[in-house]
Structure 1
């Protein structure tokens, strides 16, 4: 098949995946301005809030491996559709939780279900993309899909913050559940099977990819998720409260004053939107230069710079700049990093490789809230963000060492990386 023919065939599939993951991303985005503030809203302890925030990632820690193996065993379509549907049910569970007399139980249960669904979605979305894309355009394709997932987050965070402020938290959760349900409908009718033609019963659910490329990429993913989701997203609303920092907008004779939840929703949306834009750019640039590692290092430094900015004299301007830089760094790494994993992994093991990569990311995302919330209480936010600035630099060192050990080159080209 020619490159142009392959491109025309793969694009509709990729865009269908983007549409599905975009809408389910609303469910993840809506909750972030609300959940960290549950201590005040429902009287839940800071530790329990951390458990709720991280429950989906701890669940994915155990679900990612089986999800990846399942993809290599039965294909991508059924797990993708099922994962989206499970996420929709989980989002509806937030409505039950916030109206319940035991909200902690229902929030944890909903987050556990979300973890199972998202393990299936993440394992399949990137595997579908790897299946239908060529090496020369893989970075761009991975960036587009990751951007679709990421764009859902800022839209959801803006809506979550504003709807919860103007109407109620319940209304925000109902809105999120509606969009998540729409995602599974789109996937059911549009997304085809791309990975296997028949089931392979020889693949075991615990069969992970433990090659050096998978472990290297996974460790980088660990650091990014720990810093971005585990630290920034879990603490931003509390940081704004400590600094008494909110946003007021004036449009003509009308003024809108956002509380901490609304302001944090807008700031996290700015970070996620920046990430989505640079996810596409990062993947496209890595295709253009024919190498992934230099692009990855530039964006890791960008993420480091963003956390350093947050430690400066607090003002809304510096917080906005810091969030945008952190988002750009996180996003810019996303496309080239998953493309690099696909470059170095045989197609028949890509599901398992993505499962391994997701395990590392979710360990980072799960540890983040458990560590960052108590640390911020004890040492302050400046110390927390200063330490977080070092994490992307350590990830860069791991990346260079792992790739050099495996390929014998500090910056292998795309052609040299293909298995």
Structure 2
């Protein structure tokens, strides 16, 4: 029996009309995870639209604009629980111009469900979403080959898609890939096993999600504590208190640990680790705490407290895999704000090393223009050092975003390599 409190975050992705919203609706409907009033509202809307049964896609298309246009245009988060596990779903759009939303939805996911239309097979968006899943180091990918009812539940059609996907995915860094033939519309192999595909011996999708092993993506080895603010209470009883507050990004801290403050390089020992409920014997990610040190050191927001025997790199020059998110192309050598943990600095994209061709995964070193949805390796220069780890080692200290100073819009998300 699994711990019912164990939470699985998964993202869904696929091309337009591959049936993502219908699949999520089917998961919620067949697992009885829908409130009665929600169900009644959806039934009424389905009748107004002239549907014979319940339009399952309406369970995720929650915004009126989305319904009127007939498309899903943002990342829709849905929560549901079964007796075995709790789930958070990030439903991302299939349109090419919204690939950036896939990056947002997938950034904290334990698993990705990638839908493929059994009639069309692996297409550019399938490759794009699989590549992003690989880039973000999502450990589990479930390829749901949907609309099997439209290919007469053909095992041959199913195997054809598997061969296409395996040929492409052999170049990706994904630990675990599983294939499930489904019909989201009819419910085949979603929650219940399909009587129409007795040739498929695997588990249906929900059972796969319920029993999938979740390994924590939190780095437990490298101790990193980005300082968010300095606490100096004005009360008489705490007049001499000077605490450094923030959230532990990774690793474990204990009173008495030898620590180094970066980027200054000053050293000290942890005197205490405090919370509203009192002192702690240890703090670990993702706990929010306040630390006091035995020495009075000038520390401010953006600094990082680390174990002295295990330090991150402090650098102003970063190699980054960058996903460009904005409608406007990147301006050559334009200045942006870069944010990483609690650190914010000015930064400039010094050089575009290459862009990825999503279809072939080949590197294009000639095209240097960054446009929306482009994925490329770039060199970034910051005004002051950032304390960094590689993304594959530490998701928190290895990720950055770029912000346009003029509009305050996020223009890119990146992984330090």
* TM-score, length-scaled by structure 1: 0.22
Higher relative contact order (CA 8 A, sep 6+): 1
Structure number having the greater strand percentage? 2
Q: Name the larger-Rg structure.
A: 2
